[in-house]
Amino acid sequence: MHTLLPSECKRGMVLMLDGVPHLIEEFHTGGSAQFKQKLHVRLRNLKTGRVADRMFADNERVASAELQHRKVQFSYQQGDTFVFFDIETSEELDLTAELVGDRNMFFKENEEYKALFLEGKLLDIQLPQHMRLQVTDTAPAQRGGSDSAWKSATLETGLELMVPLFIDKGDHIRVDTQTRKYAGKESS
C-alpha cells in the first residue's frame, strides 16, 4: 500500500486508517516556532459516514487507498437506500442514508456524479463544487433592494437556504455544495 507524508495530503484523498477508508474533507497546518508543524484533518469514515478530526505529525507516514473513479447517475431513493446507475458497467449500486448523510440534498434524478470505488465496491459519491438547482418556493422577487438583503428559499431537492431578494420562484441558482450557500444566479 502506498504511503505519504501529511504534507502530500490533499482534499478528496482517501487514507486507510486502521484498515478503514477515510476521506479528507478539510485540512490545515498548525504549529509555532516552539512546536513542530502538525496537519489538522477533518476525515469522513467511508464505512460509517461519521466525521472526525485528527492530527498528524509532519513526519508521520499515512497509508493512502488506491481508488478507482467512475461516473454514476442518481436513479432513485428507496427508504434509507440511495440507488445509483453505474454508466460504465450498467449495474445498480446502493449507498445507505447513513453514508450519504446530509449530502442527499444535492442528489437529482438522472444527474451524473463522480463515484469512488475501492476494490470494485462503491465507497462514496463526490459532489461537484457547485450545482445548478431550481427555486421551488420563495417570497416574490423585489427589484432595487440592496445586496445585503436576503430571504429564505426552498430548492427542488428540498434544500433551504438564503438567497438575494431579486431571486424568484422558478429561477435557477448555483449553490456551493461545501458551504451550502447561494453562489450566483444561473441563466435559464
Q: C-alpha distances in angstroms, 181 versus 16, 26, 80, 126? A: 31, 17, 26, 18
The larger pLDDT score, comparing residue 160 to residue 6, is at 160
Q: What is the pLDDT of residue 4?
A: 80
Question: Taking residues 150-160, what's their average pLDDT?
Answer: 93
13 — pLDDT class (breaks 50, 70, 90): confident
Q: How many Cα atoms within 13 Å fall on the side-chain side of residue 110? A: 0
Domain boundary (78, 106, 126) is at 126
Is the pLDDT at 53 greater than 70, yes or no?
yes
How far apart, in Å, do the first and last CA atoms of the chain sit? 47
Q: Amino acid identity, residue 46? A: L
Structural element, H or E, at residue 97: helix 97-100
Pair 118, 142 in one domain: no
Domain boundary (100, 126, 152) is at 126
Question: Which tens digits make up the pLDDT trace of 127-148?
Answer: 999 999 999 999 988 877 666 7
Question: Taking residues 84-101, what's their average pLDDT?
Answer: 89
Q: What is the mean pLDDT of the chain?
A: 87
| Residues in the chain, total | 188
Is the pLDDT at 112 greater than 90, yes or no?
yes
Report percent pLDDT > 70 for the chain: 94
Pair 122, 165 in one domain: no
Is the pLDDT at 33 greater than 60, yes or no?
no
R_g over Cα of the chain: 20
The domain in which residue 158 lies consists of 130-186
The larger pLDDT score, comparing residue 59 to residue 166, is at 166
Could you give the number of structural domains in the chain?
A: 3
Residue 34 region, left (φ>0) first, then alpha (ψ -120 to 50), else beta?
Answer: alpha
Pair 118, 163 in one domain: no
CATH number reported for the structural domain that contains residue 179 in this entry: 2.40.50.140
The larger pLDDT score, comparing residue 163 to residue 99, is at 163
31 — pLDDT class (breaks 50, 70, 90): low
Question: Taking residues 18-38, what's their average pLDDT?
Answer: 77
Structural element, H or E, at residue 71: strand 68-78
Pair 34, 74 in one domain: no
Report percent pLDDT > 90 for the chain: 39
Pair 153, 119 in one domain: no
Pair 46, 11 in one domain: yes
The larger pLDDT score, comparing residue 83 to residue 18, is at 83
Pair 57, 94 in one domain: no
Pair 22, 56 in one domain: yes
Is the pLDDT at 7 greater than 80, yes or no?
no
Q: What is the pLDDT of residue 151?
A: 92
Q: Which residue has the cell 507524508?
A: 5
Domain boundary (64, 83, 108) is at 64
SS3 content of the chain, % helix, strand, coil (to 5): 5, 55, 40
